[in-house]
């Protein structure tokens, strides 16, 4: 209503339009408008609408807060200068010009609040046919921001039906520009890569990154273990793994994790998970016999670290042990029933003896599969 009153045009833009047309509820809704940032500020301020100071104003974005929600509204713009990372923009009232500088056709549509779709580059057709295409010339779009190479892969994994349904000219443009990713910050790359790892066709897309010479510029090992990656991605699909669990299949040695961290600045938790999996994926496996879970349970019981439990769950996903994963998720870590206090009551007095006795009882308790209770353990001590 505010925009209408002032005769500014306002439409929903980009990702939210794509989601609505796919029958999904958009996570967040961005708007585009013919009003300039200063016109918007004036309009909102005089209407008493709160503005959130997000540093987006020089790119033309104003954030208004209404009904406990933030709305980002961006003035239509054209890129004047780009260096592959940032763009200088100038404002326009031409909707097609704004759509032209967006990355993919499925992300370049606008939706009027009356339900009219504005689609200058056949984005709706592409969405219906599950095609991922750059707006205009692929190489030009990529050179405006090299991160768009990874965005292409991410949306391919979200929308495309079959692996391998790429336009050869697009792949050629990606290969020729792959080196540009070397100048993109690790943090931005990691955000995209994580989404790719949890999307569809992940095995196909990572193999493609190696074929198109992208891997080396985004922190992946030069000689990634693509056979292991293919094996793991096949069995892990429905187990909701963490991105790092999927990625670790590429790694052969600890250094691969360290190098990834140097390039992408992953979190400490992610790094530790990667190192844990590389170290234990071969040795720590299920036991033969009636208690296949025992090695994992023993590992958790012996560990002095906090989140061992969740790391073991990721290990089981990595190994494709769906059945054991469910069991361990339902298992409650038992607590050791005997304390130093109990031993003192039995007349063991020196700290050293108490420590040794507790350790012996712990071993007995472990042998029993953590089933012995306090009484059994203390009578066991008498024998010892």
pLDDT digits (tens, 9 = 90+) for 268-308: 999 999 999 999 999 999 988 888 998 999 899 888 787 89
Residue 306 confidence (pLDDT): 75
Q: How far is CA 185 from the centre of its chain?
A: 16
The segments of the chain whose pLDDT lies below 50 read: none
Residue 233 confidence (pLDDT): 96
Question: How far is it, in rounded angstroms, from Cα 126 to Cα 112?
Answer: 20
Residue 273 confidence (pLDDT): 96
Residue 263 confidence (pLDDT): 96
pTM here is 0.86
CA distances from residue 272 to 51, 126, 192, 218, 254 in whole angstroms, order as listed: 41, 41, 20, 19, 10
Question: How far is it, in rounded angstroms, from Cα 367 to Cα 42?
Answer: 74
* Tokens 């697009």 -> residue: 170
Residue 225 confidence (pLDDT): 96
- How many alpha carbons fall within 13 Å on the CB side of residue 213? 10
Residue 346 confidence (pLDDT): 78
pLDDT digits (tens, 9 = 90+) for 16-52: 999 999 999 998 899 999 999 999 999 999 999 999 8
Question: How far is it, in rounded angstroms, from Cα 121 to Cα 104?
Answer: 9
Structure tokens belonging to residue 329: 């998720």
Q: Beta-carbon neighbour count of residue 52 at 10 Å?
A: 12
* Tokens 């056949």 -> residue: 122
Say which residues have a Cβ less than 8 Å from residue 164's Cβ, sequence separation at least 6: 204
Fold of 1-124: Beta Polymerase; domain 2 (3.30.460)
For the chain, which residues make up each domain, given as ranges? Answer: 1-124, 340-382
């Amino acid at each position: 209503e505010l925009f209408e009153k002032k005769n500014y045009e306002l439409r929903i833009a980009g990702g939210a339009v794509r989601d609505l047309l796919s029958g999904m509820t958009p996570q967040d809704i961005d708007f585009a408008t013919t009003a300039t940032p200063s016109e918007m500020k004036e309009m909102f301020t005089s209407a008493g609408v709160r503005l959130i100071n997000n540093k987006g104003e020089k790119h033309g974005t104003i954030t208004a807060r209404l009904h406990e929600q933030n709305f980002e509204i961006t003035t239509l713009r054209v890129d004047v200068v780009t260096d592959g990372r940032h763009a200088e923009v100038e404002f326009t009232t031409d909707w097609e010009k704004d759509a032209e500088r967006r990355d993919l056709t499925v992300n370049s549509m606008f939706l009027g609040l009356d339900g009219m779709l504005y689609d200058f580059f056949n984005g709706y057709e592409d969405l219906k046919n599950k095609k991922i295409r750059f707006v205009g010339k692929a190489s030009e779009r990529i050179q405006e921001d090299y991160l768009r190479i990874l965005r292409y892969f991410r949306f391919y994994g979200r929308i495309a039906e079959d692996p391998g349904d790429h336009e050869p000219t697009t792949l050629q443009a990606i290969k020729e520009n792959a080196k540009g990713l070397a100048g993109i910050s690790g943090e931005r790359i990691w955000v995209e890569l994580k989404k790719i790892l949890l999307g569809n066709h992940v095995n196909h897309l990572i193999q493609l990154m190696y074929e198109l010479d992208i891997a080396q510029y985004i922190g992946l090992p030069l000689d990634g273990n693509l056979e292991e990656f293919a094996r793991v991605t096949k069995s892990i699909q429905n187990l909701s793994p963490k991105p790092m669990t999927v990625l670790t299949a590429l790694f052969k040695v600890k250094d691969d994790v360290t190098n990834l961290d140097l390039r992408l600045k992953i979190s400490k938790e992610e790094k530790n998970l990667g190192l844990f999996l590389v170290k234990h994926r071969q040795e720590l496996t299920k036991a033969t016999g009636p208690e296949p879970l025992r090695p994992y349970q023993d590992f958790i019981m012996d560990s002095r670290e906090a989140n061992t439990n969740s790391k073991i769950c990721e290990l089981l996903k990595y190994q494709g042990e769906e059945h054991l994963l469910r069991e361990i998720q339902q298992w409650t870590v038992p607590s050791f029933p005997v304390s130093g206090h109990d031993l003192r009551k039995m007349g063991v007095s020196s700290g050293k003896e108490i420590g040794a006795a507790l350790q012996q009882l712990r071993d007995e308790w472990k042998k029993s599969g953590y089933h012995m209770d306090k009484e059994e353990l203390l009578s066991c001590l008498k024998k010892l």
